């Protein structure tokens, strides 16, 4: 009897072909409001941080001072016996004594988000953590009154990357924060000082306190100086890969996405920025062909949000085309959204470095 026909013979199993890379341009996620609320926690990159894991620059006393002040702030939050009560169809309770929050003022990469997340982790719930954009998206999804009701049940609200360049959104969030402070919610916020204004003392803090209008008396500005930790002693952006190398990385990396840069930019215009995080669900690495300089403001701002969500998820980015430190034109870097573009460059370069590390 031929071996192949023997009843105990085991048929050879053909090797399984690797799964095709994910295309982000095929994804149009729908994110219910409940998920927006449930996901108001520090991003995965900061899921386990603490004040103890923050590594201050030994040449920057303000970084040590920031840790001390925030640890004391966390102590006052832990001393409270109960979370604030919801303020709904009732007169707001008087705001508790002392500052309602802390504003972390500083440049890129000095660890403000690390410290903000450390405060969140050190504080008992209920509590919420989100970027300024995510907070405005939540208000849009829930409506203003429902957002007030939902967040008024929290002990602490942490707002990362507070933005001052959209007057409408700034007034909206300022009004929201006023209602929350009236209901006893404590606040902590971060923002960025433009590099050419770092020598002007508390310029960014003055902007922040002015824009939040009546809330200024509730915040203690806390300056954090230092160099971007992502670039301390590190080289410039790594050289781009070839298209063929990008495709090879995508093919051998389970869960990797592979897209043409132009196609992805076009797709971002059809997906609300609040859904960019969901678009990256189950993605382990991002591969892009043909990265080029972006000159359109709206396109560039969408790319900034995507860069933030990729950075939150620690997704290495393998790309061909131009290096990421050239993705925004000099004209755009001199404009009103400079702080966003510089933050995006810093983060994209860090993710590109992650992709170039030996596995």
Task: Render pLDDT for 121-179 as a digit per residue (tens, 0 to 9).
Answer: 999 989 999 988 888 888 888 889 999 999 998 999 999 887 766 667 777 888 898 89
Residue 226 near residue 106, CB atoms below 8 Å:
yes
Give CA 137 to chain center in angstroms.
14
Q: Residue 16: what pLDDT?
A: 55
Cα(260)–Cα(110) distance, integer angstroms: 33
SS3 readout for 65-117: HHHHHHHHHHHHHHHCCCCCCCCCCCCCCCCCCCCCEEEEEECCCCCHHHHHH
Chain segment 229-247, per-residue pLDDT in tens: 555 544 567 889 999 999 9
Chain segment 246-301, per-residue pLDDT in tens: 999 999 999 999 999 999 999 999 998 878 988 999 999 999 999 999 989 899 99
The CATH architecture annotation of domain 33-230 reads 3-Layer(aba) Sandwich (3.40)
Q: For the whole model, what pTM was predicted? A: 0.68
Q: Residue 209: what pLDDT?
A: 59
Residue 27 near residue 279, CB atoms below 8 Å:
yes
Q: Where are the domains of the chain?
A: 33-230, 234-356
């Amino acid at each position: 009897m031929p071996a192949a026909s023997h009843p105990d013979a085991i048929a050879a199993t053909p090797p399984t072909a690797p799964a095709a890379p994910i295309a982000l341009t095929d994804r149009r996620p729908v994110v219910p409001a409940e998920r927006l609320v449930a996901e108001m926690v520090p991003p995965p990159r900061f899921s386990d941080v603490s004040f103890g894991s923050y590594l201050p620059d030994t040449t920057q006393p303000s970084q040590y001072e920031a840790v001390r002040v925030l640890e004391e702030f966390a102590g006052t939050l832990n001393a409270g016996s109960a979370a604030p009560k919801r303020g709904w169809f009732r007169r707001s309770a008087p705001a508790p004594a002392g500052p309602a929050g802390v504003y972390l003022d500083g440049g890129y990469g000095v660890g403000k988000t690390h410290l903000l997340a450390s405060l969140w982790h050190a504080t008992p719930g209920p509590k919420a953590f989100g970027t300024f954009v995510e907070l405005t998206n939540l208000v849009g999804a829930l409506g203003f009154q429902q957002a007030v009701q939902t967040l008024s049940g929290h002990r602490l609200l942490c707002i990362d990357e507070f933005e001052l360049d959209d007057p409408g959104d700034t007034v909206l969030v300022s009004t929201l924060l006023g209602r929350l402070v009236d209901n006893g919610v404590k606040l902590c916020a971060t923002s960025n000082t433009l590099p050419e204004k770092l020598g002007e003392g508390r310029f960014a803090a003055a902007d922040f306190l002015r824009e939040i209008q009546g809330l200024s008396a509730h915040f203690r500005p806390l300056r954090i100086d230092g160099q971007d930790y992502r670039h301390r002693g590190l080289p410039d952006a790594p050289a781009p890969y070839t298209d063929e190398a990008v495709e090879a990385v995508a093919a051998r990396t389970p869960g990797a996405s592979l897209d043409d840069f132009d196609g992805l930019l076009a797709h971002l215009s059809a997906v609300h920025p609040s859904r960019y995080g969901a678009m990256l669900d189950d993605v382990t690495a991002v591969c892009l062909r043909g990265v080029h300089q972006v000159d359109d403001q709206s396109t560039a701002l969408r790319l900034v949000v995507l860069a933030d969500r990729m950075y939150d998820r620690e997704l290495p980015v393998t790309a061909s085309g131009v290096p990421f430190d050239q993705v925004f034109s000099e004209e755009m870097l001199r404009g009103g959204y400079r702080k966003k573009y510089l933050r995006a460059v810093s983060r994209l370069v860090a993710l590109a470095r992650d992709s170039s590390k030996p596995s």
